[in-house]
Amino acid sequence: MYSKLLIYHKEVDNMHDYSGIHCPIITPFKTDGSVDEDGLRNVIEFVLKEQKCIGIVPCGTTGESPVLNNEEHLRVIQIAVEQANGRVPVMAGVGSNCTTETLHLIEESEKLGADSYLIVGPYYNKPTMEGMFAHFKAIASATNKPIFIYNIPGRTSKNIEPKTILDIAKASTNVIGLKDAAGSIDQTMEIMAGSRKLGKKFYVLAGDDQMVFLILTLGGDGGICAVSHVIGKELMELFNEYKKGNIENAREIHFSILPMIKALFSETNPSPIKAALEMIGVINSDPLRLPLVPMSTAGREKLRIELKNLGKI
């Protein structure tokens, strides 16, 4: 059990509704390996205007945050804030396996105007649940902006247990949501049942893109979906149809986009997303930073077929 359960009663600086589909935007690179700032602005405009996403998330997994240095990381967040220009919330990915580094990124991102923060569970260190709680408590106490926990044990090697997620949310008023990529519907249900007793709005957003429909049926709020670069409009239609009570329509959309979701995760994210955006014409080229490499020739051909099937190219 945690040594002390401290409750932070601070006024949360939040003007946004986070219900819907958010895009964890890619970080385009030029062929020389530098960040393609014009390409990044083009991607943001595309996901907002064409894909109808209601929020953007720079510097997440899809944005290749592990291979961005601190200067690049903050510059990507700055461009996202500038380009969004208040149209949608910018949820900056600033999580790290080092609490001090996360606090530094938050301090700098505050100056840039980020609306909220996505904090991934500490990776590699494999902290205990007490360590997880202390990590998020320290982060939450450093800002009054909304914080979303990002639980993705497949990448971090450590699951944040449901009780710990709920304890973190209970202890800090500005922890208002979860990006759920734990891959366990049982865990999702336990968190959602417990969140009903928190006495505040607690968003549960799908982090596994194929789970958006199921998350909604449990009372969740949408998703932070890499595939929204390509099928954001369809996911937003699914979301809107469900909210209007047109459950069968939402279900049909869900099943119709599953092949595209499968194709976009057929190789390590964000390789297929970048390949798709190049095929569509949103970015000029699709380099990634090592150790990630561009999509294979065979994978690209399968992806091209799915893009054609949906009329994307």
Residues 6+ apart with CB under 8 A from 234: 253, 256, 257
Please give the Cα distance from 94 to 80 (Å, whole number): 14
Contact between 273 and 260 under an 8 Å Cβ cutoff? The reply is no
Quickly count: other Cβ atoms within 10 Å of residue 186's Cβ: 9
Q: Which two tokens stand for residue 272?
A: 């297929």
Q: Which of 145, 170, 179, 274 is catalytic?
A: 179
Instruction: Fill in the DSSP letter of residue 195.
Output: H
Active site residue 203: no
Alpha-carbon distances, residue 6 vs 25, 62, 98, 133, 272 (angstroms): 34, 33, 21, 10, 43
Measured over all CA atoms, what is the biggest interatomic distance in the chain, rounded to whole angstroms? 56
Contact between 80 and 47 under an 8 Å Cβ cutoff? The reply is no
Q: Which of 150, 158, 170, 274 is catalytic?
A: 150
Ranges of beta strands (E only) in 78-115 are 91-93
Please give the Cα distance from 178 to 91 (Å, whole number): 12
Contact between 44 and 229 under an 8 Å Cβ cutoff? The reply is no
Please give the Cα distance from 260 to 271 (Å, whole number): 14
Active site residue 150: yes
3-state class of 120 per DSSP?
strand
State the catalytic residues.
150, 179
